[in-house]
């Protein structure tokens, strides 16, 4: 229905470094991985890496919108743990009445989406209606959700009923034509996110709000509503990520989702979104997520460096990836 | 020295109990919050021991504080001394360094100090030290590997969070299998975390076409490893040795699961031992000063039932 025959306008000039930078870093990592281990490009390893990137990836797409609109959300990791815990508790509790089957799984999914949505809405309302700094609100909710999941689990681990776990395992491990569900959902979220960001009024409004709140306000954009929607979207995406996470190991504890918020934020920034807001790039975020996952993967596939130094290698590559994309800007 | 300390400790206790016969004494218990499975179990056993001991000793009051970081733990301890007038402190330090000076101050104020699991940086502060046996944990695990794989084989090793505890375990494990035909293909940090271990094991499975066994060194890590093996459909791995005695894993060993033929204990209930011994010291003339090391025991299908605690969250 849309006009796809229109020729691209910037086809002749080489894309700027901000565009090539993250892609180049990703390509270099892939070449490095492939040269270090012959199994790196095997279907099994590619599936592993893409599927495990899906959680952070889906969340990071939402984070791209929040950051583009000038916000920040530190609570997503704890939120994911809390939503996972809640989902497991509800599914276990409803097991005797509903029995193992599709209705129970749908109930679990519904709970996860609803809980994510409410959590995002709560963050968003506190930030936009009460005008509290996003950093403070989400730092607070980060602690709250982390404590709540510890409390729900009584300090231990919440585990799905064993037979139920068998039943929902395919949500993480199976898929269509060898492409597993997490990868499919991740791809869909990215495509929809990219369209919303670059082709809709909402995407432009988010960038405008992040770029200059006052000008946006006088241009007739409801700053508060745009921001609120970005937090709600992020909450919903946390719910979706949790739906994919729970079937993997069938458990949640206070150590679930630790530091996911920082990984998501790092992926967003590596991808070229501006931390101060005003400009966002969903496809860049995907590259950022893949860079982060590949570093771990390559370090595990080889024994080049002492495992004590894994964090240092990660840090160096994150900073390098950002330098690579800003390099030309700094020198010109 | 130890004898002197013990006699002194016993005398001090006798004096304390003698002068406070009628009035209640308060025992402060300060432990890290339940941030992972093992700590969750430890919290459970602490609460359980306190509930039980309050029945047994009407003359004792217990105050339990859980801290989510070392600074908060220091505050907890200062509050206990200032407002609850504790006669004894049972403390499992979050970290050794930051807790050493505050606990030393408590000790110098004449309060009985029991340190659990993680030792302080300065020796001789505590009256009683109750701890698990980390070198033993590694050694027992290594010896099990030797007996389970007399012909030798290729294994991968999962390490915990980089720390003294982890080093002691791994060093002693390596020492135990040294000179045998057991070959460690790779060792990587799984950080005592299921998700991390799942991903590391996936990568190990891509990297090595043939793995004979896994030393996961912890039951949370073992669960992640098992999930990765199952998902990959690999049949070359004969067994996974976890550790710490999580009840689900103990149950699987008890029920004869061939993938989990054994476990090595590192009981979170050691906090109960510490509280109990402290209570005995406060209320009787039995000397309890010194060191109490709780050995790491090999759990096999034959004795697994003795290590299964259905009520514990761990």
Break chain A into its structural domains and give their ranges: 50-299+307-322
Kindly give the parts of chain B with pLDDT less than 50. 1-21
B186 vs A37, B50, B73, CA distance in Å? 14, 43, 37
CATH of domain A50-299+307-322: 1.10.3470
CB distance B34–A37 less than 8 Å? no
Distance from CA of B245 to the nearest CA of A (A): 13
DSSP per-residue string spanning B7-72: HHHHHHHHHHHHHTSSS-EEEEEEEE---SHHHHHHHHHHHHHHHHHHHH-TTEEEEEEEESSHHH
The reply to whether A170 touches chain B by the CB within 8 Å rule is no
Coil, strand or helix: which one is A39?
coil
The reply to whether B199 touches chain A by the CB within 8 Å rule is yes
A273-306: pLDDT as tens digits:
888 889 999 999 999 999 999 988 888 888 777 7
A166-212: pLDDT as tens digits:
898 889 888 888 899 999 999 999 999 999 999 999 999 999 999 99
DSSP per-residue string spanning A123-166: HHHHHHTS---HHHHHHHHHHHHHHHHHHHTTTSEEE--HHHHH
The reply to whether B313 touches chain A by the CB within 8 Å rule is yes
The reply to whether A254 touches chain B by the CB within 8 Å rule is yes
Coil, strand or helix: which one is A302?
coil
A35-44: pLDDT as tens digits:
988 888 988 8
* Chain B CA closest to residue A172: B231
Distance from CA of B128 to the nearest CA of A (A): 27
% residues pLDDT > 70 (chain A): 93
Give this prediction's pTM: 0.78
The reply to whether A301 touches chain B by the CB within 8 Å rule is yes
CB distance A307–B220 less than 8 Å? no
ipTM: 0.75
Averaged pLDDT for residues A222-244:
96
The reported pLDDT for the residue numbered B90 is 93
Q: Are B186 and B157 in contact (CB under 8 A)?
A: yes
Q: Which residues contact B110 (CB under 8 A, 6 or more apart)?
A: B12
The token duo for A298 is 């390559």
Name all domains of chain B by residue range, CATH numbers in brackets.
2-132+268-295 (3.40.50.2300), 134-264 (3.40.50.2300)
Q: Are A208 and A284 in contact (CB under 8 A)?
A: no
CB distance A308–B194 less than 8 Å? no
Q: Measured between beta carbons, which residues in chain A are less than 8 angstroms from residue B206?
A: 37, 39-40, 42, 44-45, 48, 301
The reply to whether A159 touches chain B by the CB within 8 Å rule is yes
Of A92-101, A155-164, B132-141, the poorest mean pLDDT is in A155-164
The reply to whether B243 touches chain A by the CB within 8 Å rule is no
Radius of gyration of chain A (CA): 20
Of A253, A256, A301, the CB nearest to B203: A301
Distance from CA of B214 to the nearest CA of A (A): 15
């Amino acid at each position: 229905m849309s006009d796809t025959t229109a020729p691209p306008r910037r086809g002749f000039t080489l894309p700027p470094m901000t565009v090539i930078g993250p892609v180049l870093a990703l390509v270099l990592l892939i070449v490095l991985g492939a040269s270090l281990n012959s199994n790196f490009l095997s279907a099994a390893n590619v599936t592993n890496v893409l599927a495990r990137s899906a959680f952070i990836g889906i969340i990071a797409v939402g984070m791209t919108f929040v950051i583009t609109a000038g916000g920040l959300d530190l609570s997503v990791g704890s939120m994911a743990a809390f939503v996972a815990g809640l989902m497991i508790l509800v599914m276990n509790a409803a097991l005797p009445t509903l029995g193992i089957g599709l209705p129970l799984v749908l109930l679990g999914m519904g709970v996860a989406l609803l809980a994510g949505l409410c959590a995002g809405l709560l963050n968003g309302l506190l930030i936009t209606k009460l005008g509290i700094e996003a950093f403070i609100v989400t730092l607070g909710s980060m602690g709250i959700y982390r404590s709540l999941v510890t409390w729900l689990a009584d300090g231990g681990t919440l585990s799905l009923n064993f037979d139920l776990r068998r039943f929902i395992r395919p949500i993480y491990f199976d898929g269509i034509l060898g492409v597993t569900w997490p990868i499919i959902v991740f791809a869909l979220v990215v495509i929809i996110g990219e369209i919303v960001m670059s082709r809709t009024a909402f995407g432009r409004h988010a960038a405008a709000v992040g770029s200059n709140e006052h000008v946006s306000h006088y241009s007739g954009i409801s700053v508060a509503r745009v921001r609120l929607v970005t937090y709600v979207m992020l909450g919903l995406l946390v719910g979706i990520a949790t739906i994919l996470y729970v079937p993997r190991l069938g458990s949640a504890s206070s150590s679930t989702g630790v530091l996911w918020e920082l990984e998501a934020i790092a992926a967003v920034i590596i991808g070229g979104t501006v931390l101060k807001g005003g400009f966002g790039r969903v496809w860049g975020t995907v590259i950022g997520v893949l860079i982060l996952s590949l570093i771990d993967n390559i370090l595990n596939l080889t024994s080049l460096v002492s495992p004590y130094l894994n964090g240092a290698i990660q840090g160096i590559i994150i900073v390098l990836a950002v330098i690579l994309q800003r390099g030309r800007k700094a020198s010109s | 020295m130890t004898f002197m300390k013990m006699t002194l400790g016993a005398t001090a206790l006798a004096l304390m109990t003698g002068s406070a016969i009628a009035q209640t004494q308060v025992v402060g218990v300060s432990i890290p919050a339940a941030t992972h499975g093992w700590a969750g179990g430890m919290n459970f056993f602490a609460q359980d021991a306190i509930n039980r001991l309050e029945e047994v000793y009407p003359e004792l009051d217990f105050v339990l504080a859980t801290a989510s970081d070392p600074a908060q733990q220091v505050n907890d301890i200062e509050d206990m001394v200032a407002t609850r007038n504790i006669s004894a402190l049972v403390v499992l330090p979050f970290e050794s360094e930051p807790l050493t000076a505050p606990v030393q101050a408590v000790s110098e104020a004449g309060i009985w100090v029991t340190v659990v699991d993680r030792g302080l940086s300065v020796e001789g502060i505590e009256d009683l030290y109750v701890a698990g046996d980390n070198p033993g944990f590694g050694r027992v695990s290594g010896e099990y590997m030797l007996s389970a794989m007399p012909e030798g084989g290729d294994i991968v090793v999962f390490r915990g969070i980089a720390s003294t505890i982890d080093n002691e375990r791994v060093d002693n494990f390596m020492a135990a299998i040294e000179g045998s035909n057991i070959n460690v293909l790779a060792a990587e940090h799984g950080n005592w975390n299921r998700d991390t271990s799942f991903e590391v094991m996936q990568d190990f499975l891509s990297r090595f076409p043939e793995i004979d066994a896994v030393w996961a060194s912890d039951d949370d890590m073992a669960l992640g490893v098992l999930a990765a093996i199952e998902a990959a459909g690999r049949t070359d791995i004969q067994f996974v040795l976890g550790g710490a005695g999580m009840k689900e894993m103990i149950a699987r060993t008890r029920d004869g699961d061939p993938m989990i033929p054994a476990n090595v204990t590192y009981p979170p209930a050691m906090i109960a031992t510490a509280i109990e011994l402290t209570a005995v010291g406060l209320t009787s003339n039995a000397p309890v000063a010194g060191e109490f090391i709780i050995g790491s025991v090999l759990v096999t299908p034959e004795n697994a039932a003795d290590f299964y605690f259905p009520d514990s969250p761990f």
